[in-house]
A and B are shown apart, each in its own frame.
Chain A
């Protein structure tokens, strides 16, 4: 199953290495990982999208991440109401005829063209995974030259429908 996990960490050298290292060592498959500092520059937020086999493996992962000395908090957001976004830059081949077609295609995605040359345009799109996948599929027939994706970053919504019981397992 696919899980979205965030780790709040001290912004110390090597901290990203520690987390990816332990995930490699314990055979967890990272789909994407994003890092950036929070409002406090000494604290960073890491968002990890990961494939795990079952609940037991997930529990292990959360506990192992939590065990790192530089990790302050670990949260599995998957079951929560959340906002999750990634940004993609897509370079598409164009001809004078297709350029306006492409404009129409990307409009409902609220994507924008941020670079234009004679043979191609670069499109910026932000959204959840499905949205990014969808726009890529629509643009594919025109010939995609290059894609660069940031990976997912996420946050629980301000209001949760039910009281979310954070899977505490046996941390306490």
Chain B
């Protein structure tokens, strides 16, 4: 009798509201305080609900800008980036960013509008099958069919995006679902029987790795972005120091180990250091942590870590054994696993000779470039940026030569300050990502290092920068070319520069001025340093057009198809 009375009372407390309002309620419940998006017909009800709320919305000037900004935000803020776009073209404009977030495991929750349920499947105005289109490039996706499902789906979407191996989750909301009224029951629990990521490692495997460490004479740790997602930097540092194990990073793992540490070998891979790649070639124990052994890292697999026992720690079991045969597979979160390993591995191998050998290589084969004449060398420019920011700024990049020079020369000493498009290599990523990063971490200086070509792919977001008066420094590494393409044509296509030179450019300083943004063009080292310091001190946005040598190449390098031991350009 009493129970049914209580149930009645519970029922009367259930709120009735529209789908759009449910979305807002759920976003607030998830602690979302900023959205990146662009309105349109199918999301008008959502934008109307947003109008009454206290959630910040960044109106980028293109949906691609919105999603890259959300990616930059997610990379530095440690929480998912949230994106809204309308149906059809709004949704398809997000596709590049979704694919980018998928391959780089960035947590995003993306809401797209959809045409009304009654016309789905009729090729209605602005209808695109975004669920079908994004199926292979999302961790999971949904189309909402009943308004009451919204709280559960949103809860699941946020849970999926940021647990296990993070990734983008898309929720497609038909317009009539946004407007229809339903009973709002907040969702507090997730019930996903098919999704139970393993975070705690199997102790037996951890012990096997501890034994391998005790035996190893030439161990090396390869730390990837998984270390950063798991916030396992301290454990990895302790592990490396305790057993005297040299450490190298993947491109996306930079910042997970202090670059100035004596055990650090520099980045590995196609444009990695000679010492790091030699370590991967010669090692007898390779400990991969939160890294997925992609082809730009390994080079030709036939020559990768052939003498090594491979141990692979990853939260995604499907990564283990995918590319490299693995003797010690450990599924688990990097932090828990490294902590367990610290407890279990009481004996160190004798690694001193190996550590010395690699330190010697690091000394005799440093990164190099010729700093001669008056022309500003791009590598020198990145060193200056490092010096002026003390290696502590958030640095985003686009894709190309300037990206590799930043990875090589910026020298990250702190985690989560490196924002780049690694797996997909998306030109146009760097600048909008910097906007999101600045919003995610307003207390840190943010520098967007971009190419003259890539910047032109998403430069419309200068409007956002100016509107929000965000103190982001844009550094255009202007070599008047699609530098990375030009480099490959120089080396592998007998200098046939097919469509890779960009002599015709806008006047970037005037362009910035048109947006009301301060800017300067520099051609020498001294100018670059002075103007960069000025830009860094500026209270608002600043664009620096840096005219660098146009024929500079990124070295050292592993040519495509070659092994990790076959680097070219290791010495001047």
Contacts and interface: CB of A to CB of B under 8 A. Distances in A.
A67 B136 CA distance: 12
Chain A contact-residue range equals 20 to 34
Interface string B292-333: 000000000000000000000000111011100110011100
B318 A17 contact: no
A59 B321 CA distance: 8
Nearest to B330: A170
B460 interface: no
A54 to B, nearest CB: 11
A70 B320 CA distance: 21
Interface in A82-111: none
B131 interface: yes
A64 interface: yes
B132 interface: yes
From A72, A170, A171, residue with most partner B Cβ within 10 Å: A170
A69 B140 contact: yes
Interface in B314-365: 316-318, 320-322, 325-326, 329-331
A22 to B, nearest CB: 7
B321 A170 contact: yes
B318 A69 contact: no
B194 A10 contact: yes
Contacts of B326: 170
B321 A22 contact: no
B195 interface: yes
From B139, B198, B321, residue with most partner A Cβ within 10 Å: B321
Given A169-B321, A170-B320, A69 B195 contact: yes
Nearest to B141: A14
Given A22-B136, A59-B321, A60-B322, A69 B198 contact: no
Contacts of A22: 136
B318 A21 contact: no
Chain B contact-residue range equals 20 to 34
A72 B325 CA distance: 27
A67 B197 CA distance: 9
A171 B202 CA distance: 10
A45 B438 CA distance: 48
Contacts of A9: 194
A161 interface: no
A72 B331 contact: no
Interface in B167-201: 192-195, 198
A69 B316 contact: no
Contact of A172 (B136, B193, B325, B331): B331
A118 to B, nearest CB: 42
A13 B320 contact: no
Contact of A70 (B132, B194, B198, B317): B194
B119 interface: no
Contacts of A170: 317, 320-321, 326, 329-331
B440 to A, nearest CB: 27
Given A69-B195, A70-B194, A172 B135 contact: no
Given A14-B135, A17-B135, A69-B160, A172 B198 contact: yes
Contacts of A63: 317-318
Nearest to A61: B318
A60 B141 CA distance: 22
Interface in A23-61: 25, 56, 59-60
A171 B319 CA distance: 10
Contact of B131 (A14, A67, A71): A14
Interface of A: 9-10, 13-14, 17-18, 21-22, 25, 56, 59-60, 63-64, 66-72, 169-172
Interchain residue pairs A-B with the least CB separation, the first 4: A170-B329, A63-B318, A69-B140, A170-B320
